[in-house]
């Protein structure tokens, strides 16, 4: 049946007479709204919490695998009645991130309650391919809400390379599995990726190879960004584009803690020292307690500390993220 009010859970409740049918219908409607994205990617958010009328419930698609994330301790089994998935994981957002998602079922329903954190599959995003692990504890390996910013980076690097007729240098901090680096390298840029995890960087190299890019032409540095950036400054290295997408909280091998609210201004100040004249920095955070205006103010404070001015442009949030976004991002044009 057709909903009376677009995107309105109240409208759906009037049309459907049972809760189960209403939930399935709303999920079906949300998927229909996202159908145009099928030509772009097979890694999308199918259900985005309150944005689709399901507060606290999120469903991400990775090819034929679904990851259901909830704050509730009861799995919404009605999701398994929807078509289109082959395996389904359940991530409990109310517990420690180190606990991997639970494999609820495959298409035959034979497997329940398993742990498949190393299961790897390939997803596509525009012309790019990435390896993901839907059952991993922290993240699959690809942040879906950065899809728009990845494409914007590609556009900007391509335009800058054509305009200046020079090879662009890109620094990707907290690079994780290096999706931003893959996009940059595909545009001919020389990339430098920095991350605390050697395993993540190895997955980044695998993503380079998956996209027919030579990882030996790129740099991969394991370690603390706050240690590497001052070294780059001493070596007088400069970058045309710098990506800052740190976790909200992290701890390095020496026990030093990074917190966005406390340390982001220092991080951006270091990045400003490494930017070329006329360079661009993508500054991002997923910290829920920081608003867009507060994040903009943090950026402006870092600029003021260096007596620099810049033009800020908001980053792009993909259309499948319908709830108020956790991701705050700005393109800083120096």
Between 307 and 135, the higher pLDDT residue: 307
**Would residue 285 count as lying in a domain?**
yes
Domain boundary among the residues 123, 158, 180 is at 123
Closest by Cα among 173, 215, 208 to 194: 173
97 and 213 within one domain: no
**Do 155 and 71 form a contact (C-beta atoms < 8 A)?**
no
Residues 229 and 290 in one domain: yes
Mean pLDDT over 230-253 rounds to: 90
Which residues are within 8 A (CB) of 95 and not within 5 positions of it... i.e. 6 or more apart? none
- pLDDT tens digits for range 55-75: 999 999 999 999 999 988 888
Q: Give the model's pLDDT for residue 301.
A: 96
CATH of the domain at 72: 3.30.750.80
- Going by the DSSP 8-state scheme, the letter that residue 115 receives in this structure is -
The verdict on residue 327 lying in a domain is yes
**24 lies in some domain:** no
The answer to whether 304 and 140 are in contact (CB under 8 A) is no
Angle between helices 225-234 and 260-274 (to 10 degrees): 20
**Into how many domains does the chain fold?**
2
Residue 55, in any domain of the structure = yes
> Domain for residue 51, yes or no?
yes
Nearest 10 degrees: Cα torsion 25, 26, 28, 31: 170
104 & 168 share domain: no
In terms of domains, do 156 and 299 share one? yes
Are residues 257 and 247 in contact, defined by beta-carbon separation less than 8 angstroms? no
Residues 171 and 252 reside in one and the same domain:
yes
User: Domain for residue 62, yes or no?
Assistant: yes
For the chain, how many residues are written? Answer: 334
- Tell me which residue has tokens 């003021």: 304
In a domain, 155, yes or no: yes
Round the CA-based radius of gyration of the chain to a whole number and report it. 21
On the question of pLDDT at 277 being above 90, the answer is: yes
Q: Within this chain, do residues 185 and 281 fall inside the same structural domain, yes or no?
A: yes
Q: What is the mean pLDDT of residues 197-223?
A: 97
Question: Same domain, yes or no, for 190 and 98?
Answer: no
Q: Residue 42 — very low, low, confident or very high, per pLDDT cuts 50/70/90?
A: very high
Domain boundary among 88, 123, 158: 123
How high does pLDDT run on average in the chain?
Answer: 88
Give the residue from 163, 127, 166, 162 showing the smallest Cα distance to 147: 127
Residues in contact with 30: Cβ distance below 8 Å, sequence separation at least 6, in sequence order: 46, 47, 48, 52
Strands 128-132, 257-259: pairing kind = unpaired
| 318 pLDDT more than 60 | yes
| Per-residue model confidence (pLDDT) at position 272 | 98
- Do residues 261 and 299 both lie within one domain? yes
**Domain identity same for 230 and 276:** yes
Query: Looking at the predicted structure, is the pLDDT value of residue 118 above 80?
Result: no
Q: What percent of the chain has pLDDT over 90?
A: 72
Residue 13 lies in a domain: no
Q: How many angstroms separate the CA atoms of 221 and 235, rounded?
A: 15
Query: What does the pLDDT read at residue 61?
Result: 96
Domain that holds residue 57: 36-123
Say which CATH number the domain at 203 has: 3.40.50.150
Query: DSSP 3-state assignment of 287?
Result: coil
Which residue is listed with tokens 């050697």?
198
Nearest to 81 by CA among 24, 12, 13, 19: 24
Same domain, 285 and 177: yes
Mean pLDDT of 10-35: 73
Token pair listed for 193: 């990726």
What pTM was estimated for this model as a whole? 0.89
DSSP string, 144-203: GGGHHHHHHHHHHHHHHHHHH-S--EEEEET-TT-HHHHHHHHTT-EEEEEES-HHHHHH
SS (H, E, C) 38-50: HHCECEEEEEEHH
Residues 291, 154 share a domain: yes
Residue 112 sits in the same domain as residue 197:
no
Give per-residue burial for 263-289: e unless 16+ CB within 10 Å, then b.
ebbebbbbbbebbeeebbbbbbbbbee
Q: Report the pLDDT value the prediction gives residue 245, as an integer from 0 to 100.
A: 96
Q: Is the pLDDT of residue 9 over 50?
A: no
């Amino acid at each position: 049946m057709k909903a009376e009010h677009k995107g309105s859970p109240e409208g759906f409740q009037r049309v459907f007479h049972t809760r189960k049918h209403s939930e399935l219908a709303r999920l079906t409607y949300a998927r229909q709204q996202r159908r145009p994205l099928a030509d772009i990617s097979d890694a999308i958010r199918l259900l985005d919490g309150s944005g689709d009328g399901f507060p606290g419930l999120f469903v991400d698609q990775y090819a034929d695998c679904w990851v259901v994330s909830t704050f509730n301790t009861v799995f919404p089994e009605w999701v398994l009645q929807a078509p289109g998935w082959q395996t389904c994981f359940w991530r409990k957002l109310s517990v420690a991130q180190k606990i991997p998602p639970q494999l609820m079922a495959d298409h035959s329903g034979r497997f329940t309650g398993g742990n498949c954190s190393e299961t790897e599959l390939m997803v596509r995003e525009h012309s790019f391919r990435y390896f993901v692990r839907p059952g991993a504890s922290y993240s699959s390996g690809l942040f879906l809400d950065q899809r728009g910013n990845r494409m914007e980076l590609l556009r900007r690097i391509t335009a800058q390379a054509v305009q200046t007729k020079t090879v662009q240098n890109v620094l990707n901090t907290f690079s994780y599995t290096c999706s931003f680096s893959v996009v940059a390298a595909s545009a001919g840029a020389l990339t430098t990726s920095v991350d605390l995890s050697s395993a993540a960087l190895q997955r980044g190299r695998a993503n380079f190879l998956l996209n027919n890019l030579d990882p030996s032409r790129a740099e991969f540095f394991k370690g603390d960004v706050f240690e590497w950036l001052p070294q780059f400054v001493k070596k007088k290295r400069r970058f045309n584009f710098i990506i800052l997408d740190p976790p909200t909280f992290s701890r390095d091998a020496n026990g030093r803690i990074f917190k966005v609210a406390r340390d982001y201004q220092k991080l951006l100040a270091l990045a400003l020292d490494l930017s070329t004249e006329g360079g661009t920095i993508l500054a991002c955070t997923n910290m829920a307690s920081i608003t867009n205006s507060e994040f903009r103010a943090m950026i402006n404070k870092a600029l003021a500390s260096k007596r620099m001015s810049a033009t800020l442009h908001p980053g792009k949030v993909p259309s499948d993220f319908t709830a108020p976004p956790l991701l705050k991002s700005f393109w800083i044009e120096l």
